[in-house]
Structure 1
Amino acid sequence: MSYRHKRTQEILKIHQAIEDGEDIEFVYEDFLSGSDYLDLVEQLDISGDDTVAIYSFDGAQLYRNKGSDTWICSVHYLRI
């Protein structure tokens, strides 16, 4: 079983325990703890056999008085 799948299941159990009223402190450790990822796991039924890709985009204007800009993209395939 991969780290991602095992850790996701642990986090989902912790979230369920918190919803059930247990007094548990949850610590965000990496992308697996994020609500965007966890929502997709539940909506798309992501399993341990699936590969996850994270896309991150950001734009920046290079000069204050100039209309030029640049986009930076980072793609990570996570098969962990």
Structure 2
Amino acid sequence: MARAQYFVVQQNGKWVIKLGDKHYGPYGSGTQREAIKVAVDAANASGKDGFDAQVLVHGADGKFRTEWTYGNDPYPPKG
């Protein structure tokens, strides 16, 4: 199965989504929470289209952490 990875990263002080070589956003006020919500919605749609979809968030430590995975985590996420 093909993999769709949605990376939530900070760019110019706002949070955006990176998919492949494209950047999307910022959304609303450009907060991390808003970008994660949009990324999870997009990843869920990709999962329904047959992609192994994940949302990864760039942390303050410079590492990515998995925030949400299609088929493993509830949709919509709680919280």
TM-score calculated relative to the size of structure 1:
0.33
Higher helix share: 1
Return the TM-score normalized by structure 2.
0.33
**Higher strand fraction: Structure 1 or Structure 2?**
2
Which of 1 and 2 has greater Rg? 1
